[in-house]
Chain A
């Protein structure tokens, strides 16, 4: 147990055992798969038409936004050129893979979930998982056909973040009780306001930078305490999403293994 907890020495043994456990997980997942299939198959024509229309509009809007993004990118490069500063990060897009979250329960006292991709899809330990609206967590154990991921609101999880408005860096630690996060070690006079958006800072070489993590919902300052108590609501639907994206991040063109930086996260 010490070997497993402290040194991750039993990872191979664990992934071998998961060959037995995986079929059980997939069988347990079958009913919710069946419900998904049924609700996909037995829809009326008009509902589909409506949905199609909404998706088309949404697609148009996103495309329009993307055009703006291209021009912004060029402008940013120009400004950087004027300032003669080095290019900040690689423009190459990260490789992503859509994965399904299996509906199985794990330890009720931890925030974890199982995804249906494993080593056969190049999933590795420490890989970030991102939902449609924000960061969800990272992979902690991989098996051949499934992997387990730790949610950002687990008590043992911390994520390096940055406030989008002014670039203040902080570390957000999970608070499993309310499924929220907390910013630790921020002084009482830090420039942090309610409704600020937190994005990943890319420090720590685990999460790529620039993905939304959460919004600040409460800032409590108590002069008798050294630090402010700052509560963050994650933007991702941590307990509702059935699908997520696995990301293979690039850190300034480097692979994760080549990235040198302080390892801030535990587990």
Chain B
């Protein structure tokens, strides 16, 4: 692994920036409530495909950027995303051989864990919304996952990111 050439860092960075943009793009209220966790989708994909490059550290940094972009308490998304990256890294060999429907199921579970951490921190800081409102994006994230997976895999193969 250590001898392997690093390719396509730019692609990884661009994909994360695109995910951040999708996170702050203005949407009507009903769509805002079901906006998928874009950054998490990209993070899960890269830490599954390239666990030696994208892992907890990247998850933490992207989480901090997400905190600033969302104007949330600094560290809440960082903690949640770092945990998701850790879980994906641990399970990446199993995740890779799963069919896409099963992957989506695992992504859904990760989303719920992520949402509950966010809900927990929001609860401590006194701004907790209802549980259902915070869990609904998990469904859309799981539905979007197969599409995002195919797109990101295509990008990885096309630009030979390794």
Residues on A facing B (Cβ under 8 Å): 1, 4-5, 10, 13-14, 17-18, 20-21, 24-25, 27-28, 32, 103-110, 112, 114, 140-141, 148, 155-156
Contact = CB atoms under 8 A, between A and B. Distances in A.
A156 B70 contact: no
A17 B70 CA distance: 12
Contacts of B134: 109
Contact of B64 (A17, A106, A110, A156): A17
B126 A14 contact: no
Nearest to B64: A17
Nearest to B70: A107
Interface string B48-61: 00000000000000
List the 8 closest A-B pairs by CB distance, nearest first.
A1-B75, A4-B74, A109-B129, A104-B24, A17-B68, A148-B71, A108-B32, A103-B26
Interface of A is mostly: mixed
18 contacts: A1-B74, A1-B75, A4-B73, A13-B74, A14-B74, A17-B64, A21-B20, A24-B20, A24-B21, A28-B26, A32-B26, A104-B25, A105-B24, A105-B27, A106-B71, A107-B71, A110-B127, A141-B71
Contacts of A108: 29, 32-33, 35
A150 B76 CA distance: 19
A14 B68 contact: yes
Contacts of B70: 106-107
B140 to A, nearest CB: 13
B109 interface: no
Given A4-B73, A28-B26, A140-B71, 11 more contacts: A1-B79, A5-B73, A10-B74, A17-B64, A17-B68, A105-B24, A106-B24, A107-B71, A108-B35, A114-B71, A148-B71
Contacts of B64: 17
A109 B24 contact: no
Contacts of B35: 105, 108
B151 interface: no
A104 B26 contact: yes
A21 B74 contact: no
A104 B23 CA distance: 9
B11 interface: no
Interface centre among A20, A104, A109, A140 (most CB of B within 10 A): A109
Contacts of A13: 74
Nearest to B74: A4
Contacts of B33: 108
B69 A4 contact: no
A17 B65 CA distance: 7
Contacts of B126: 156
Contact of A5 (B26, B27, B125, B133): B125
Interface in B92-151: 121-122, 125-127, 129, 133-134
Interface centre among B32, B68, B70, B134 (most CB of A within 10 A): B68
A112 B69 CA distance: 12
Interface centre among A17, A21, A141 (most CB of B within 10 A): A21
B24 A28 contact: yes
A112 B127 contact: no
Contact of B21 (A20, A27, A32, A156): A27
